[in-house]
Homo-oligomer: A and B are copies of this chain.
């Protein structure tokens, strides 16, 4: 009955997300995006509505793949705490690979945008909360297992972990090359409050 869209939506969003991730929202122009995703303005606007609409979908895609990454770490690990450590190592060493930016896209977005783009800002904040909640869930499991003591709530520990990850990734990004970062990760998981008890 009609012509089917020839582009793969998820793949397109992924490419857009990578460009947004690298350059940020304001520095990425629609013409930049047109080249990267190989679509003309009309198609882009028909599919995503606006520059903001595409960015929002890019954010969602990024957050979802982050959660998927965490789940993968859970499958590949023997314990919740080991999974978290694996996830953190992956997130931080990702900048050496093909990641567009060493920094977390959600953090970059929260850092860049103001209330002028309230919807996008809220989306990024919400996704950060989602990730933190996933952390808390794993930390609660670790406490139930006896892998971690219960002197602090899973929520507080998740917040602590979030602060550490944000701090380390941002710091690493600001100091081009530094291999002392791994030591930092070790320290987080071998000192209170996240030290496993053998």
**Which of A5-13, A20-28, A68-76, A82-90 binds B?**
A20-28
Given A22-B114, A26-B27: A163 in contact with B168 (beta carbons within 8 A): yes
Q: Is the CB of B112 within 8 A of A24?
A: yes
Q: Which chain B residue has the least Cβ–Cβ distance from A167? A: B167
Report the bound CA distance from A197 to B70 in whole Å. 38
Chain B contacts for A168, CB-based, 8 A: 163, 167
List 27 A-B pairs, Cβ < 8 Å.
A23-B114, A26-B26, A27-B116, A103-B111, A107-B111, A107-B174, A108-B112, A110-B173, A110-B174, A111-B112, A111-B170, A111-B173, A112-B112, A125-B175, A128-B174, A159-B171, A163-B164, A163-B168, A163-B184, A164-B167, A165-B167, A166-B166, A166-B167, A166-B170, A167-B167, A167-B168, A191-B191
A residues sitting closer than 8 Å to B (CB atoms) are: 22-24, 26-27, 103, 107-108, 110-112, 114, 116, 124-125, 128, 159-160, 162-168, 170-171, 173-176, 180, 184, 191-192
